[in-house]
Amino acid sequence: MRTPFIAGNWKMHKTVGEAEALIAELRPAFGAGGRRVLVAPPFTALERAVAATKGSAIEVGAQNMAAERSGAHTGEVSVLMLKDLGVEVVILGHSERRAIYGETDATVNTKVRLALEEGLEVILCIGETLDERDAGRAEDVVRAQVTAGLDGVGAAELTRVTLAYEPVWAIGTGRTATPDDANAIHRMIRATIADRYGAEAAEQLIIQYGGSVKPGNVAALMAQPDIDGALVGGASLTADTFIPIVNFDV
């Protein structure tokens, strides 16, 4: 059985005070529900978010990290700095990092390996653009991103990887993949993992869906056999929308 895993990607939103206020609202809503819940605030709010979630069911993750451990990399934040704050999970390869900041599969893979080497858990994002989908290439693109992103990652390390399938055309657009379409890609991802790591590893892998997940569509997505969680952007920014997503009815 795979434990449902819902993560909120706050992107470039929330000051430290706003982050603490939202966590205070979220804390009482999540308990022994057999679900994992994580928030990923911006770097500046991570330290206080870790403190604010202590003793709660809420985990804290980062949205990105540098591809190197340290050095002359002005403006970057390293894996060692995240660990220093008590952060145990990092989102890597988000489509905004790829599209706006030029991260390639190779960059993403370097970061994935570094994070895993340093003992973090990784949420690795993959997903096709609208052009790629319209050209009938969605499966090929996603398969290639999975393979390249996990290059050099061993079976033991894979247990600390969650994959997040986020069709780029569904992110922040209000346009969600249909549960069936999303599940078809998830199924293909699981088969790709089975080929490479074996059936058991594939069976255990958590694959989140992301892209305009809302209280009104989460249950239908989660009802799909290969959708194990959600990576939520816009709707993770308020308690009113994030709580019902995490506590969706089965």
Binding site for ligand PGA (CB under 6 A): 9, 166, 171-172, 210-213, 231-235
Q: Could you tell me the smallest distance in angstroms from the CB atom of residue 232 to ligand PGA?
A: 5
- Looking at the Cβ atoms of 197 and 210, the one nearer to ligand PGA is 210
Catalytic-labelled residue, pool 94, 103, 132, 186: 94
Place of tokens 């709660």: 56
Rounded Cα distance between 133 and 152, Å, is 28
User: Is there a catalytic annotation at residue 73?
Assistant: no
CB-based closest residue to ligand PGA: 233
User: Is there a catalytic annotation at residue 166?
Assistant: yes
- Looking at the Cβ atoms of 177 and 202, the one nearer to ligand PGA is 177
Q: Could you tell me the smallest distance in angstroms from the CB atom of residue 166 to ligand PGA?
A: 6
- Looking at the Cβ atoms of 187 and 214, the one nearer to ligand PGA is 214
Three-class SS string for the chain? CCCCEEEEECCCCCCHHHHHHHHHHHHHHCCCCCCEEEEECCHHHHHHHHHHHCCCCEEEEECCCCCCCCCCCCCCCCHHHHHHCCCCEEEECCHHHHHHHCCCHHHHHHHHHHHHHCCCEEEEEECCCHHHHHCCCHHHHHHHHHHHHCCCCCHHHHCCEEEEECCHHHCCCCCCCCHHHHHHHHHHHHHHHHHHHCHHHHHHCEEEEECCCCCCCHHHHHCCCCCCEEEECHHHCCHHHHHHHHCCCC
- Looking at the Cβ atoms of 96 and 226, the one nearer to ligand PGA is 96
Q: Could you tell me the smallest distance in angstroms from the CB atom of residue 164 to ligand PGA?
A: 7
Place of tokens 């958590």: 206
Q: Could you tell me the smallest distance in angstroms from the CB atom of residue 210 to ligand PGA?
A: 4
- Looking at the Cβ atoms of 168 and 202, the one nearer to ligand PGA is 168
Q: Could you tell me the smallest distance in angstroms from the CB atom of residue 100 to ligand PGA?
A: 12
Catalytic-labelled residue, pool 59, 128, 132, 166: 166
Task: Name the residues annotated as catalytic.
Answer: 94, 166
